[in-house]
A and B are shown apart, each in its own frame.
Chain A
Amino acid sequence: MANKVIVEININGDPVELLCEPRQSLLEVLRDVLELTGSKEGCLTGDCGACTVVIDGRPVCSCLMLGVEAAGKNVATVEGLASGMSLHVLQQKFLEHASLQCGICTPGVLMSAKALLDRNPNPTEAEIRYALAGNLCRCTGYDKIVRAVTDAAAALAGRTHPAHGTVPSETASGMAGEMLAKGEAK
């Protein structure tokens, strides 16, 4: 059925007019129509978060949204995170803390982290872990990701932060466990 429709979306600050099939997800529209392949497909069920983009300030799994639904919305993808030659502080901290191994989850994690810091510039470790719970990473055990986001928040706030290459000395060991010790999430 050739029923393509024209959709206008603001992507990373630029208005974009595109043609897509209603059945194409926003993720397909980004990757296959616009060739923005930074957003990744990991599960197509909203369980892994690799396709996370930020829509009007909120993190969303682009695999669980039709492209046509994004009409008129502001969609931010990992491709728009850096400005020109300067990386976003989250990107910089991910590099410094070696927070990625294979890198497939990284775009989604960065976008979730950005949505978090934009709303809550000074998150606790528990808040960071909660905000990233929808982004599965199978390589890192999350430790270095959490450190990078913590450090990025500190850098954004202009607080002193560990120099490149060092690891924050205080480890908030057991935060996840302590917080949820009775199986009563949140």
Chain B
Amino acid sequence: MHAINYEAPKSLDEAVKLLAAHGEKARPLSGGTDLLIQLRAGTRRPEFVVDIKQIPELTRISFSLQHGLRLGAAAPCISIHENSDMRKYYPGLTEAAHLIGSLQIQSRATVGGNLCNGSPAADTTPALIALGAQARVIGPKGERTVPVDGFCLAPGRTVLQPGELLVEFHIPAPERHSSDAYLRFIPRNEMDIAVVGVGAALSLDVSDDRVVEARIGLGAVGPTPIFAAEASKSLIGKTLDAAAIENAARLAIAVATPIDDMRGTAEFRRHVVGVLTRRTLAKAAERAREANQR
């Protein structure tokens, strides 16, 4: 590995100043589970590594029914799974965070890092897209909010400009009859990167029958994680029966543009998008109905 300088700012102000000063020569360090591998491989060669885990806002998880969720970009995945509000109100995002790598990885890896790494296969991104999460970004020119479904531009590339830092995610509090789910397909039972990932969030009407709101996010089936807009829209106002689910699955497959690689063929991935869309919608719906009791 090339030589690096390490900085660990204690405040957001300090971090913004450091990142602004070093521009492209700096890279924020969150859990490091992707960055350290890239540094060793020489695929990223920043001179300055800015550890953002000592900034309180970045590791905070705060939830209220009034204000929804503020999830710090650098909160380790394990802290999400261990948070009872997260498990209760965002079970899909929670399971996505709990699927990444091993417990060793979850002790370090973060949702923000998962997104900023820009991998189309990031597990938490489709779950965030399904929840309509907004990313709060701070940089030399001030603050902005970016919807997660528009955050990634290409493999390894995001909307973040040099000097910009992802601070946290904001997700509205779920309605009474709503919930989410995330499923991924991997060849083993643990440790693999998603071959296909599907996140879904559903709001049902009071009868738990008709879909009021639906969002489906897809992972690992295109150059970036995908918001399956047509598939999502197709469900709204519909009764969530087999035909509606099948139709959504078909529309989800239609927006997938997967490739053949060592993790699976394009043909396989398209098929599995359909399978997982069906399963994820069913699971989210089941949870939405159960959420009625909370």
Give A contacts to B, CB under 8 Å. 1, 3, 5, 21-23, 25, 44-47, 49, 52, 55, 58-61, 63-66, 68-69, 112, 115, 130-131, 133-135, 176, 180, 183-186
Contacts and interface: CB of A to CB of B under 8 A. Distances in A.
A46 B102 contact: yes
Contact of B5 (A22, A47, A186): A22
B22 interface: no
A59 B3 contact: no
Interface residues of B, number: 37
Nearest to A68: B6
A185 B97 CA distance: 12
Interface centre among A61, A64, A66, A115, by most chain B C-beta atoms within 10 angstroms, is: A64
B107 A59 contact: yes
B1 A23 contact: yes
Given A46-B101, A131-B103, A134-B103, A64 B5 contact: no
B208 to A, nearest CB: 23
Which 7 A-B residue pairings sit nearest by Cβ, starting from the closest? A134-B102, A22-B6, A133-B190, A1-B3, A58-B107, A61-B104, A23-B1
Given A22-B49, A64-B37, 19 more contacts: A23-B39, A46-B33, A46-B37, A49-B104, A55-B107, A58-B78, A58-B107, A60-B108, A61-B102, A63-B36, A66-B6, A68-B51, A69-B29, A112-B104, A115-B103, A133-B102, A133-B189, A183-B185, A184-B279
Contacts of B6: 5, 22, 66, 68
A65 B279 CA distance: 36
A184 B3 CA distance: 42
Contacts of B191: 47, 133-134
B49 A45 contact: no
B2 interface: yes
A121 B36 CA distance: 33
25 contacts: A3-B5, A22-B3, A22-B6, A22-B49, A23-B2, A44-B40, A46-B102, A46-B104, A46-B105, A49-B102, A59-B102, A59-B107, A60-B107, A61-B108, A63-B36, A64-B104, A66-B6, A68-B6, A69-B8, A69-B51, A134-B103, A134-B105, A183-B185, A183-B189, A185-B99
B101 A65 contact: no
Interface in B91-138: 95, 98-99, 101-105, 107-108
